[in-house]
Structure 1
Amino acid sequence: MELHIDGPNAPRRRGGRILVVDANPLSLIALAGVLDAEGFECICARSHPAALKAIESQSQDLVVCDVGDDPEAALKLIDDIHGQAAGKDLPSVLIAEARWAGLEQKAQGRTAVHCLFKPIDPASLRAVVEQALWMPHLIGTHRRRGSRPSHNGWLTL
C-alpha cells in the first residue's frame, strides 16, 4: 500500500522514499501520515514478507520500523533487508516502547540504525529521518572507525 497525497495542496516532496513497517494498521497509517505530511514518499508494509517485497520491487532510501512486541523480529527484518542487494546499506529507524531501552546496543554494528522511543514527537522523528537520509555515509564512516560524530546538530540516540 502506498500513501500519496496529490493535488494543489500536496506537500512539497523532499525526494526521499521511506518504507514504513508496522503490524498495527492504525499506527502504520499514522506514522506514514506524519512522514507524508513532511514531504516524504511512504511505502507501507504490515509484515516481514511485505517489507522484503517492497525492497525488491522499488528502491528505498530509508526503513522506519515499529518494533511492537518483538524487537528480535525487527532486528531480523533489518538484517534481512541488509542481506538483499537493494537494501545493503539502507539506513533504518527503529521505533520502540521504553521497555526496549537496550535496543540501541543490540542494533550497534548494523548499517546506520537509529532508535526512537515512544511517545514520539513528530519534530524528533523528522530530525532523525532527515539525518538518516542525508548523512548515512558519514555515519557509516564513523562506525567503521569506532568513533562518534561530534559536530553540533548531531543527535545522540
Structure 2
Amino acid sequence: MSALAHEPAVILIIDNDPIMLTGIAAVLNMSGYECHCARNAQAARKAIKSLALDLIVCDVDLGPENGLELCRELRQLPGIEDVPMMFISAAQAPDIVRRSHDAGGSYYLRKPFDPEVLIELVSKALWMPHLVQSRVAAMPEPIAEPAPATPVVPRSNLRHALSGIRMPMA
C-alpha cells in the first residue's frame, strides 16, 4: 500500500554479508526506499512480523541457511503471499535462475552487480501487475464524485492504452 500512498516502498534485505547488506541498503535508501536489514533467517522472520513489506531482496546463500528455502517459508505467512521477492547471489550454479524462480523470485541478480541495475529491477518488481492490483484493491474508497461526461482516455485509444498490461489468470 505504501507505494500508492506516496510513501516510500518498504524493502527487507536479507544477506549474511554485512558489507553487501549495508551497500544494498544504502543504494536503495538513496533512491527513496525504506530499507530494513536482516543478517539471517531468524532476523528476517522477526522483521516480517512487524513490517508491511513491499519487496524482499534475499541472498541465495545465507551461510548455514538457504535463502531460497527461507523465502518459500516466508511466502506461506499471512500478508507475504503477494510480496515480490528478488534473489541475489554470487553463485555460479547453472540452474540458479530457474531455482530462484521456482522459489517465487521475480528477479535474480548476480553479485557483484551495478547499483543502477539493482534500482531498475527493484522498481520493476514493485510495479508488477499483481502487486499494483492488490495495492489498488486495498486503497480506501474515494469520495463519490459525479462521473465525467467524457472518458479520460478516448475510446479509440483505450485498447492501445491497456495493451501493455498483463494480469495473471486467477
Is 1:45 matched up with 2:47? no
**Structure of larger gyration radius:** 2
Two-structure CA RMSD over aligned residues (Å): 2.8
TM-score (norm 2): 0.67
Q: 1:66 aligns with which of 59, 64, 81?
A: 59
Q: Please give the alpha-carbon distance, in whole angstroms, between the structure 2 residues aligned to 1:128 and 1:25.
A: 22
SS of equivalent to 1:39: coil
Is 1:99 matched up with 2:83? no
Give percent identity, aligned residues only. 38
Partner of 1:78: 71
Partner of 2:10: 17
Q: 1:34 aligns with which of 16, 19, 27?
A: 27
SS of equivalent to 1:99: coil
How far does residue 101 in structure 1 lie from its aligned partner after superposition? 4.2
Which string of whole-angstrom CA distances, capped at 9 and with x for unpartnered residues, describes residues 13-53 of structure 1? 86210001111111111110111011100011011011111
Partner of 1:121: 114
Amino acid across the alignment from 2:10: R
- Residues 84 and 69 from structure 1, CA distance in 2 versus in 1: closer, same or farther, beyond 3 angstroms? closer
5 Å-filtered alignment, 1:138-153, equals none
SS of equivalent to 2:66: helix
Gaps of 5+ in 1: 1-12, 139-150, 152-157
How far does residue 66 in structure 1 lie from its aligned partner after superposition? 1.8
Partner of 2:81: 88
Between 67-76 and 77-86, report the one with greater CA deviation.
Answer: 67-76
Q: Please give the alpha-carbon distance, in whole angstroms, between the structure 1 residues aligned to 2:115 and 2:87.
A: 15
Gaps of 5+ in 2: 1-5, 132-163, 165-170
SS of equivalent to 1:108: helix
- Greater than 2 Å deviation, 4+ residue runs: 67-72, 107-113
Between 69-78 and 113-122, report the one with greater CA deviation.
Answer: 69-78
Q: Please give the alpha-carbon distance, in whole angstroms, between the structure 1 residues aligned to 2:53 and 2:98.
A: 25
- Residues 41 and 19 from structure 1, CA distance in 2 versus in 1: closer, same or farther, beyond 3 angstroms? same
- Residues 23 and 72 from structure 1, CA distance in 2 versus in 1: closer, same or farther, beyond 3 angstroms? closer
SS of equivalent to 1:113: strand
